[in-house]
Amino acid sequence: MMIQRLVTIFGFLCVAGYLGILVFEVPRLDLALVIGVTLALAIWDLFRLLGETRD
């Protein structure tokens, strides 16, 4: 169970890092907005997965 949480967090950090590099290398407002929405959805999914309890 703990390893699943660590892998989930690591995966999120990888995606956030990649998207962060993309925003800083291609400074466009429309791209930043799309990436912001993408990260918001990823954060929502991260908290949903980490908050799950297993029987």
What is residue 28's three-state secondary structure?
coil
- Give the pLDDT of residue 46: 87
pLDDT score recorded for residue 53: 61
- What is the C-alpha to C-alpha distance for residues 10 and 53, in angstroms, rounded to an integer? 20
Could you report the per-residue pLDDT of 2-44, keeping only the tens digit for each? 888 888 889 999 999 999 999 999 989 999 999 999 999 999 9
Residue 8: CA atoms inside 13 Å, Cβ hemisphere, count?
16
Helix/strand/coil for 53:
coil
DSSP H stretches of helix in the chain = 2-25, 29-50
- pLDDT value, residue 8: 85
pLDDT (0 to 100) of residue 14: 95
